[in-house]
Amino acid sequence: MEIPLYFYEAFRNMDRLAPGSDESTLKAINYIDFNRDSELNILDIGCGVGSQTLLLAKYFKNSTIEAIDLFNHYLKCLDEKINKYDLGNRVYTCQMDMNDLDYPNCEFEIVFSEASAYIMGFKKALKEWKRVLKDDGYLIISELSWIQKPSFESKNFWKTHYSEIDSIDNKINQIKEEGYIFVDYFILPKKDFESYYHNLKSNLKDLDNNSFKKDFKKEIDLYENNSDDYSYVFYIMKKSAYQ
């Protein structure tokens, strides 16, 4: 499937397609208590241009990483980086729909998904991705969450853009209800949003006005006025061997 042209332009030359940073990704990876030298199977869902894929590969240097995305354009960008860093013998890209993971049961020690689970919805992702995780394997997801009681403006915007946005406590309850062992969470710092929106804004300057641009600008303005209300939050959990 090809990426819509407008998105191609809006995100051009960006290392991240959502709020995040190498520091935050590494902080999340550091929760994993597998030996860094182990030969693990790792799945990165909604990899985009793959900043987090490369960090996973560099951290777990004997592991195999499968990076999946719906759009070939992003996978090609990641393939170039895989070649540049000579990781082609253990990092693989694959065009695949996160709703329909084409892997056997219990295939991965780690399933990682940064700012992508919202596409199918957090609860459905928790339910469906568990199948491909080994017992005691880690599922790590960054997910948009309320970090305080939101303003009317924030609530109104996210009600239509991502209705599953919820408080951290409710997200943790969903994780536990799905039978995972909840390990920890942390909130992404504001600078992760600021750098993402800074890059997006500068790309948008050159683009024609249309409904996509209006929507991006609305999202950026909302964040600038309500940055204490919500953030991406990394949730770290394990698949229990006894479920």
DSSP-derived pairing of the beta strands 230-239 and 133-146 = antiparallel
Position among 42, 56, 69, 144 found at the interface with ligand SAM (CB under 6 A): 69
Chain residue at closest Cβ approach to ligand SAM: 48
User: How many C-beta neighbours within 10 Å does residue 202 have?
Assistant: 11
What's the Cα-to-Cα distance from 92 to each of 56, 77, 121, 215, 226, rounded to whole Å?
Answer: 13, 13, 25, 33, 39
Does 71 help bind ligand SAM (rule: CB under 6 A)?
yes
DSSP 183: E
Position among 10, 20, 232, 236 found at the interface with ligand SAM (CB under 6 A): 20
Span of 11-19, 28-36, 78-86, 214-222 interacting with ligand SAM by CB under 6 A: 11-19
Span of 42-50, 130-138, 184-192, 204-212 interacting with ligand SAM by CB under 6 A: 42-50
Residue 197 backbone dihedrals phi, psi, to 5 degrees: -70, -30
- Which residue has tokens 């065009």? 95
Does 143 help bind ligand SAM (rule: CB under 6 A)?
no
Show the site string, 84-113: x = touches ligand SAM by CB under 6 A, - = not: -------------xxx--------------
Does 129 help bind ligand SAM (rule: CB under 6 A)?
no
What is the three-state SS of 211-240? HHHHHHHHHHHHHHHHCCCEEEEEEEEEEC
- Residue 203, C-beta contacts closer than 8 angstroms, at least 6 positions apart: 9, 10, 11, 12, 13, 14
Nearest-approach distance from CB 1 to ligand SAM, in angstroms: 9
Does 26 help bind ligand SAM (rule: CB under 6 A)?
no
Nearest-approach distance from CB 56 to ligand SAM, in angstroms: 11
Does 28 help bind ligand SAM (rule: CB under 6 A)?
no
Residue 99 backbone dihedrals phi, psi, to 5 degrees: -75, -15
Binding interface with ligand SAM (CB under 6 A): 16-18, 20, 46-48, 51-52, 68-71, 74, 97-99, 114-116, 119
